């Protein structure tokens, strides 16, 4: 029997006897403020079924575990299994696209720049003319139904660039068909959906990757390095913005403005910066939110402003919106502060002791190419993905908690939402 032991509390929680047959498992336990908060499973591989069991049991004991590259807790990469196939192949990953809108075209273009890694094999959307145009542009095949694409043995993985509320059912169907899945952010609209998607992919032994590409920009990589090195000193505050004037771009009847389907700017725009905040600062603990209604649909927020508290005493604001443009980001530290306009590869660093400024060019980047190339490598058996289902679920939890805080008019605790689905399953 393997046990989790919380140092300093005397707490001993049996995990499960199923761990006994797993070779060379080591558990490292961390205790903070007398609460067990993280367990790292090391020296794997384990089977997909064991991975799903560990995820479920860890969650039921309020233990958060990380897969390799998931930086939810400011942990560096860990040698953990993420459902990646064990067999490696030299041929390119054969990917299909489902949902062929404007952003799907950008993702597909990023794929074409990596022919040794990726072959765009097919596509599907319900409109035949759109399928034909995509197939011509990217020299690929096409399927006339989602079910036919799922059944095609020549497809290794699928890029989902469909409306948010369709991600759950589509991901489960693809996983059951043995397809690896790359889901454009957000993972989905609810925590229940997220858990269903994660479980389906784990049980099928397929990869679930999520397109939170913003964290891959060179400016955020530089910020992460500066935080890790202590160059900023103690982090005092942050201001994060992710707003786009979608009302000026999309028609008023677009699904993004439908209360039931699009949910609102937090899950569509703010989710970008939520993932970045999780990447940079770790786990949020509390959130409070104010909103103003969307002019074309007063039942949906048009702009939201949330105040988030992270572990270690870090607080700051997150603004998301559908009616104006702003993607700036700042971090205020006791030694140095960072200001980023939201555009281009440069940040402005202020020395708080001398009030001098330095412009730093963080270098070229290719976030879309990086995330899709990483997914293809994982499909080929060459490694894990950075943003998996668990990391994306954490972003959903923050967004859902922020929305609930607005509805309640109160400060809410994030753990209530992280464990809500678990409690429902146990009831």
The whole-number pLDDT of residue 55 equals 53
The whole-number pLDDT of residue 53 equals 56
CATH class, domain 93-213+370-379, is: alpha beta
The whole-number pLDDT of residue 2 equals 32
Domain ranges for the chain: 1-81, 93-213+370-379, 218-364
Mean pLDDT in order along the chain per 10 residues (427 residues): 31 35 32 30 43 52 38 31 55 97 97 97 98 98 98 98 96 98 96 97 98 98 98 97 92 86 90 98 97 94 97 96 96 98 97 97 98 97 95 97 96 88 42
The whole-number pLDDT of residue 258 equals 87
Distances, alpha carbon 424 to alpha carbons 9, 84, 187, 198, in Å: 27, 30, 20, 17
The whole-number pLDDT of residue 172 equals 98
Distances, alpha carbon 57 to alpha carbons 4, 44, 51, 120, in Å: 11, 17, 10, 38
The whole-number pLDDT of residue 39 equals 33
CATH class, domain 218-364, is: alpha beta
Total residue count of the chain as it appears in this document: 427
How many CB atoms are located within 10 Å of the residue 337 CB? 21
Query: In sequence order, which ranges of 101-242 are alpha helices (DSSP H)?
Result: 102-112, 128-138, 146-151, 167-176, 191-204, 218-229
Closest listed residue to residue 272, CA positions, set 404, 124, 399: 399
Question: How much is the pTM?
Answer: 0.79
The whole-number pLDDT of residue 90 equals 84
Same fold? 93-213+370-379, 218-364: no
Structure tokens at 14: 């049996």
């Amino acid at each position: 029997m393997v046990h989790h032991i919380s140092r300093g509390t005397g707490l001993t929680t049996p995990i499960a006897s199923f761990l006994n047959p797993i070779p060379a498992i080591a558990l490292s336990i961390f205790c903070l403020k007398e609460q067990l908060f993280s367990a790292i499973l090391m020296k794997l591989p384990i089977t997909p079924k064991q991975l799903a069991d560990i995820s479920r049991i860890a969650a039921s004991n309020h233990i958060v575990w990380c897969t390799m590259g998931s930086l939810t807790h400011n942990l560096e990469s860990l040698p953990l299994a993420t459902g990646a196939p064990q067999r490696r192949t030299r041929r390119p990953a054969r990917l299909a696209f489902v949902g062929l809108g404007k952003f799907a075209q950008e993702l597909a273009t990023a794929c074409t720049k990596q022919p040794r890694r990726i072959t765009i094999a097919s596509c599907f959307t319900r409109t035949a003319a759109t399928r034909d145009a995509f197939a011509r542009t990217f020299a690929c095949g096409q399927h006339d139904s989602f079910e036919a694409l799922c059944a095609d043995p020549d497809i290794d993985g699928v890029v989902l660039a469909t409306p948010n509320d369709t991600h759950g059912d589509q991901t489960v169907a693809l996983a059951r068909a043995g397809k690896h899945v790359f889901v454009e952010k957000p993972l989905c609209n609810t925590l229940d959906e997220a858990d269903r998607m994660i479980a389906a992919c784990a049980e099928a032994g397929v990869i679930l990757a999520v397109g939170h590409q913003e964290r891959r920009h060179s400016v955020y990589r530089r910020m992460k390095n500066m935080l890790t090195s202590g160059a900023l000193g103690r982090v005092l505050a942050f201001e994060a913005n992710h707003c786009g004037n979608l009302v000026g771009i999309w028609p008023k009847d677009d699904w993004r403005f439908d209360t039931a389907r699009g949910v609102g700017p937090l899950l569509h725009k703010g989710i970008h910066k939520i993932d970045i905040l999780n990447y940079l600062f770790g786990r949020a603990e509390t959130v409070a939110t104010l909103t103003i209604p969307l002019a074309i649909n007063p039942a949906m927020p048009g702009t939201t402003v949330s105040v988030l508290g992270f572990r270690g005493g870090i607080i700051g604001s997150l603004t998301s919106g559908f009616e104006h443009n702003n993607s700036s980001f700042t971090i205020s530290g006791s030694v140095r502060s960072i200001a980023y306009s939201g555009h281009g590869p440069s940040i402005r660093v202020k020395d708080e002791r001398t009030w001098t400024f330095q412009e730093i060019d963080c270098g070229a980047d290719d976030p879309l190419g990086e995330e899709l190339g990483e997914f293809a490598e994982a499909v080929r058996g060459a490694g894990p993905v950075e943003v998996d289902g668990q990391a994306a679920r954490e972003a959903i939890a923050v967004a859902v908690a922020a929305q609930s805080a607005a509805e309640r008019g109160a400060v809410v605790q994030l753990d209530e939402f992280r464990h809500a689905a678990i409690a429902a399953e146990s009831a």
